[in-house]
Structure 1
Amino acid sequence: MTGPDALAQDRRGGEMVAGANFGGRRWSWKNLSALVRLVKLGISYPQLRSTLFFIDRNADVVIAPGAKVTIGRELRIMRDVTIRVGGELVLGDRVFFNRGCNLNVLRRVVIGSDSLIGEMVSIHDDDHAIGAEFDGTPMGERPMIVSDVVIGSNVWIGSHCTIVRGVHIGDGAVIGANSVVTRDVEPRTVVAGAPARLLRRI
């Protein structure tokens, strides 16, 4: 891992460490704690490819053997975020996950640079198989169906949204809070609802 100057400052600030200055940025105690968490993560998962990034307390990241994770500059993962990667995860520069997000990757998820993921957002590239052929089979024993999720650059996903498998969200799109996105979203549009529908173009 390289680039100490890529570690994002906590928005709320904090007590500064006297004399600590890396790449022109002073680090708070909270960011130093985040660095320790990041180092532990890198030791646990050597397949992780990234610069330094901010990971808050109680964030839980699990990367399965054989999974691939590529992270751009200045990723921020706030507290209580859960990330599970069994396939391929690609995150661009300055991606932000707010508190309580859940990201599950069995196949492939891509999130472009400068995208903001609001509180309690759920993004899954998988779901359980349904249909008459599975009648009588407990839901937990059915096979998983997977398809890529691609979220473009400069996308804003409001709080408590659900992004289901196979969805592609175009650059500059805005997803209103509490939406369930079940189909592709065009670039530079605002959508909302369950299921999410076009409100306007921007």
Structure 2
Amino acid sequence: MRRMLNKILSRLKGGSFEIDNAMPVSYLLSLLFSRTVMWLRGFFSGVKGGGMLFIGRRVTIKARSKIKAGRLVTINHGCYIDALSTQGIVLGNNVSLGKKVTIECSGSLQCVGKGITVGNNVGLGADNFFGCAGGIEIGDDTIMGNFISFHAENHNYSDATIPIRLQGVTHQGIKVGNNCWIGSKATILDGATIEDGCVIAAGSLVRSGVYKANGIYGGVPAVLIKQRF
């Protein structure tokens, strides 16, 4: 059975995949049953997909016509997705949303947001939050830890005579390149551009600006610690 699963998974993922020999057969059978149920939810979800969409329990999806999923996309248990936006949500091939990921594409009914595009082979960790009003782009092969938040929107506050909540917002958008690693509990603010190959240390605050390729950044606010190479 293990050998058969290895062949199936390698074919689906487009590369060699080996299940750890320490994993009990009973666990594999339980996982196989769970994934089959998730696939059935995805099949009947009405979300446009390239094939094999897996949806977990207690998942909320709004404006599902605005979502386009690639092949082998997993939306894990407890996720909340509101895709109301001008460009919608695009998830590439082999994208995984961890448990309780929240994606909100519009900050309010007064201003419909832009949305989010996620490349291929991307893992979004559990309890991540994506506020996509100003648009978020994530490149291929990028991985993220848990409890990360993206905020692609800023409130105006320069007028002392008007409450901040009534001064409107600005949108610059957030861009994350290919092959990046963003550590747990990092916060990414509107206007940040994280170039290819960057590592963002856990707990960092990434403000508006350009973070050059292959840099390791950390701190509050995040600064360059060193280059990877």
Q: TM-score, normalised by structure 2?
A: 0.73
Across the aligned residues of Structure 1 and Structure 2, the Cα RMSD in angstroms comes to 2.6
The residue that corresponds to 1:174 in the other structure is 199
Structure 1 position 138, deviation (Å): 3.1
Structure 2 gaps of 5+ residues are 1-10, 49-62, 106-112
Q: Which residue, 22, 29, 34 being the options, matches 2:38?
A: 34
- Is the contact made by 2:134 and 2:190 (CA closer than 8 Å) also made in structure 1? no
- 1:21 — aligned with what? none
Instruction: Please state if 1:53 is matched with 2:78.
Output: no
Contact 2:47 2:69 in 1 (8 A): no
Tell me the equivalent position of 2:108.
none
Asked whether the equivalents of residues 89 and 108 of structure 1 are also in contact (C-alpha less than 8 Å), the reply is: yes
State the alpha-carbon separation in 2 of the partners of residues 137 and 40 from structure 1.
44
Query: Of 84, 91, 101, which aligns to 1:71?
Result: 91
2:29 is aligned to 16
The alignment partner of 1:184 has SS state of strand
- Where relative contact order (Cα < 8 A, 6+ residues apart) is larger, the structure is 1
Query: What is the TM-score with the length of structure 1 in the denominator?
Result: 0.82
> Secondary structure at 1:64's aligned position in 2?
coil
The superposition leaves residues 151-177 of structure 1 with CA deviations (integer Å, 9 ceiling, x where unpaired) of 000100000000000110010100001
Residue type of the partner of 2:191? G
CA distance in 2, matches of 1:103, 1:84: 6
Candidates 64, 67, 80, aligned match of 2:100: 80
Matched-pair contact (CA < 8 Å) for 1:87–1:107 = yes
Unmatched 5+ residue regions in structure 1? 18-26
Relative to structure 1, is the Cα distance of residues 195 and 32 closer, same or farther in structure 2, using a 3 angstrom cutoff?
same
Report the 3-state secondary structure (helix = DSSP H, G, I; strand = E; otherwise coil) of the residue aligned with 1:46.
Answer: helix
Q: Give the deviation of 1:137 after TM superposition.
A: 3.1
1:112 correspondence with 2:139: yes
Q: Compute the displacement of 1:41 (Å).
A: 6.1
Work out the percentage of aligned pairs sharing the same amino acid: 21
Q: CA deviation at 1:87?
A: 1.1
Label 1:78 to 1:120 Cα distance change in 2 as closer, same or farther (>3 A): same
Structure showing greater Rg? 2
Structure 1 segments of 4+ aligned residues over 6 angstroms from their partners: none
- State the 1:123 CA deviation: 0.7
Q: 2:218 aligns with which of 170, 192, 195?
A: 192
C-alpha separation between the residues in 1 aligned to 2:154 and 2:32?
A: 40
The corresponding residue for 1:100 is 127
Letter of the structure 1 residue corresponding to residue 205 of structure 2: V
> Residues 36 and 105 from structure 1, CA distance in 2 versus in 1: closer, same or farther, beyond 3 angstroms?
farther
Aligned pairs, number: 186
- Paired residues of 2:85 and 2:114 also in contact (CA < 8 A): no
Q: Is the 8 A contact 2:127 2:147 kept in 1?
A: yes
Instruction: Give me the whole-angstrom Cα distance separating, in 2, the residues matched to 1:41 and 1:138.
Output: 42
C-alpha deviation, 1:42, in angstroms: 1.1
Relative to structure 1, is the Cα distance of residues 37 and 151 closer, same or farther in structure 2, using a 3 angstrom cutoff? farther
Decide whether aligned partners of structure 1 residues 74 and 152 sit closer, same or farther in structure 2, where only a CA change above 3 A counts: same
